[in-house]
Amino acid sequence: NAGVTQTPKFRILKIGQSMTLQCAQDMNHNYMYWYRQDPGMGLKLIYYSVGAGITDKGEVPNGYNVSRSTTEDFPLRLELAAPSQTSVYFCASSYSKDRGTDTQYFGPGTRLTVL
Amino acid sequence: AQKITQTQPGMFVQEKEAVTLDCTYDTSDPSYGLFWYKQPSSGEMIFLIYQGSYDQQNATEGRYSLNFQKARKSANLVISASQLGDSAMYFCAMREGPISNFGNEKLTFGTGTRLTIIP
């Protein structure tokens, strides 16, 4: 299993451009999440999804949109990129029945710079 | 008030010594979960250990153990016999509410502790 995969690994955007960060998991997890990590800080939740077709806002959703058409994929859309969105973005998934816990497993991250 | 507080921005520890990373939390929910993650310089987030609020015993995973003091609302990570590869950022995180309730899976993270192991 590949676990949680994210593409791209790095991206530089100009102010006002749009892009989609891709996230996929092959663990059949119901729950998926998007976090951002600013320099020297912990992670903050942007959006999450409890299943295909169901999404909800996290702590810092402004400037982002998500969709969840399949169990495996959870893309994050940035519209009109701003310098404040320069960050490292992590996708995660959870609900592993084997462990009996809701441990979240993270992808490798996407480093985004908006200039 | 901060839900997760990690008061040690950085720590330096001699190789092979034990190290304790502090984490205190704030919640009024009787059901919650506490997690520790490791973030090496490569950037990925690696799950280390989990403690449920109703677990009777402290969690252990190899060299990692969690010193869970419920009355003090603390969940310190203990790493025994530290190794050079333990140098990384360590994050404490909390889920509020029971696992079974939809929407309770969100994690709140602390600001992290940067651990450096000295040879």
Chain A nearest-CA residue for B42: A108
Residues of chain A contacting residue B99, judged by C-beta atoms under 8 Å apart: 101-102
Give me the tens of pLDDT residue by residue for chain B, a chain 119 residues long: 679 999 999 999 999 999 999 999 999 988 889 999 999 998 889 999 999 999 889 999 999 999 999 999 999 999 999 999 999 999 999 988 766 555 566 789 999 999 999 99
Are A40 and B110 a contacting pair at CB < 8 A? Answer: no
- Rounded Cα distance, A29 and B13, in Å: 37
Closest CA–CA distance from residue B71 to any residue of chain A (Å): 23
Closest CA–CA distance from residue A108 to any residue of chain B (Å): 5
Judged by DSSP in three states, B75 sits in: strand
Judged by DSSP in three states, B114 sits in: strand
pLDDT in tens, A5-43: 999 999 999 999 999 999 999 988 888 999 999 988 889
Residues of chain A contacting residue B35, judged by C-beta atoms under 8 Å apart: 103-104
**pLDDT value for A98:** 44
Question: Is B34 exposed, middle or buried (CB count within 10 Å of its CB: 0-12, 13-18, 19+)?
Answer: buried
Q: Is A30 on the interface with B (CB under 8 A)?
A: no
